[in-house]
Amino acid sequence: MLKPGVRLLVGSIIALALCEWMPLHAQGLPSEPFVVGDGRVVISGDVSLTASCSHASGAALCTEDTGFFNYSDYSDSTIRMARIGLSTAVRLSRRFSVLGDFRSENARMPHPYSLYLRFKPFDGRNIDIQAGRIPSTFGAFPRRAYSSDNPLIGFPLAYQYLTSLRADALPASADDLIRMRGRGWLSNFPIGNTVPAAGLPLADAFRQDTGVEVHGSTDRLDIAGSITAGSLSNPRIGDDNHGKQVAGRAAVKPRPGLVLGVSASRAPYVASGAALAAHATPNQFVQRGLGADVEYSRDHYVVRFESVLSTYELPTLAPRLRAVATTLEGRYKLTPRLHVAARLEHLGFSDVVGAARTATWDAPVTQWEAGAGYAVQRNTQVRVSFQHHSRDGGRVRKMTALAGQLLYWF
């Protein structure tokens, strides 16, 4: 008898494969966005169904991700998720538009991933101003965070892996950090909110920040800058510390197929209540982010590199904490319908000196993923991937996972 996780994974893969043999049914689904009112309203959407089977040392053969290597928060795993998305663009006038992206994960109520007003002040120039819950201006991956743009099933460590740091709770010493190494899925500290809860990623790709963004581009240059309420690791709808994040990215295209980008951000990341409990102000707890990315595509392949450096100031500790995530990935199209892809990553942390030992402030993580995707039709794919994770800390130090995904968009 197959275990529930195996049955779910195998069933999903079989269901996806059957799509190839049911073209009439597949063709009954919309393949293009809905356009209403002479182009004034455009509605598009996507559906992704992902199942997985994980195995950690000493655990059952097929379980959930008990190491929480793929959790965007405490409740959702990126490799065991049903997600429905609906995107809308409403042109109010020649210069003003309203854009929104609404999502539902695992049958929960839909929520606005982004919702903002766009203003184009100049005719004939690709310059716009956006206000509301806006797309991130930091890094390269958020621009392809939709499942159809991601060559694999998993997400890069920099944009989803949970460190032990929290916005509402603070360590009193280096020993508190060392005690929580590899426990970002459920960490606790003595200052502020002492209830165990999920930590923060370096940069959150699953929530958008609220504020104002200015964006402009030419054939060779793309520049965006923003002022928002939250931080790189903790995007927010409302302000929780009376601080603002300043972030931006510049990308240049020196030749066809080559993109070089740099990003930067600065923001207080700790809530006012936690800062007050530490007898400090939120402006003393600052997260700074620096990013560099390279993409090169030619013929049937694309190769991408991205590195994110995040530093955190903690008045209760010295020196400044650092974390560096580095990702190298590639995709190759074997045929117009079939592609293979792979990703290799490492997330490292700086040392802190405790009373008993010196260690990195969180457990370093190495991860690789390899997989393939097959296009049943232009806007329907079935994917399979294999992941391996390892880290120097935490209750689960090694885990492998097999994942399958059905992906449809219009």
Rounded CA separation 387/368 (Å): 6
Residue among 182, 180, 189 nearest 364 (CA): 182
- Provide the H-helix boundaries in 20-117: 23-27
Rounded CA separation 271/167 (Å): 6
What are the pLDDT tens digits along the chain (410 aa)? Answer: 444 444 444 444 444 444 444 444 545 678 889 999 989 999 999 999 999 999 887 666 787 778 899 987 767 888 999 999 999 999 999 999 999 999 999 988 999 999 999 999 999 899 999 999 999 999 999 988 677 789 999 999 999 999 999 999 999 999 999 999 999 999 999 999 999 999 999 999 989 999 999 999 999 999 999 999 999 999 999 899 999 999 999 999 999 999 999 999 999 999 999 999 999 999 999 999 999 999 999 999 999 999 999 999 998 887 899 999 999 999 999 999 999 999 999 999 999 999 999 999 999 999 999 999 999 999 999 999 999 999 999 989 999 999 999 999 99
Q: What is the pLDDT of residue 21?
A: 43
Q: What is the pLDDT of residue 17?
A: 43
3-state secondary structure (DSSP) of residue 312: strand
CB atoms within 10 A of CB 28: 8
Residue among 393, 396, 343 nearest 367 (CA): 343
Residue among 398, 406, 395, 407 nearest 183 (CA): 395
3-state secondary structure (DSSP) of residue 272: helix
What domains can be seen in the chain, in order of their start residue?
Answer: 4-409 (2.40.160.10)
Q: What is the pLDDT of residue 318?
A: 75
Rounded CA separation 130/137 (Å): 11
What backbone phi and psi angles, to 5 degrees, belong to 255? -155, 160
Which 8-state DSSP code applies to residue 237? S
The 10s digit of each residue's pLDDT in 378-410 is 999 999 999 999 999 998 999 999 999 999 999
Query: For the purposes of burial, counting CB atoms within 10 Å of the CB of 332, is it exposed (0-12), middle (13-18) or buried (19 or more)?
Result: middle
Please, are residues 155 and 69 in contact by the beta-carbon 8 Å criterion? Answer: no
CB atoms within 10 A of CB 288: 18
Record the tokens describing residue 102, joined without a space. Answer: 């609404």
Record the tokens describing residue 372, joined without a space. Answer: 């393939």
Q: Which contiguous run of DSSP H or E holds residue 9?
A: helix 4-19
Rounded CA separation 40/240 (Å): 37
Q: What is the pLDDT of residue 60?
A: 64
CB atoms within 10 A of CB 335: 9
- Provide the H-helix boundaries in 143-239: 174-179
Please say whether the dihedral angle defined by the alpha carbons of residues 8, 11, 13 and 19, taken in this order, is positive or negative: negative
Q: What is the DSSP string of 313-375?
A: --TTSSS-EEEEEEEEEEEEESSSSEEEEEEEEEEEE-EEE-SS-EEESS--EEEEEEEEEEE
pTM, 2 dp: 0.90
CB atoms within 10 A of CB 149: 10
Apex 179 CA angle, 177 and 181, nearest 5: 70
| Residue whose entry in the numeric block shows the structure tokens 């004034």 | 40
Strand-strand pairing, 245-255 and 221-228: antiparallel
The 10s digit of each residue's pLDDT in 7-49 is 444 444 444 444 444 444 545 678 889 999 989 999 999 999 9
Q: Which contiguous run of DSSP H or E holds residue 8?
A: helix 4-19
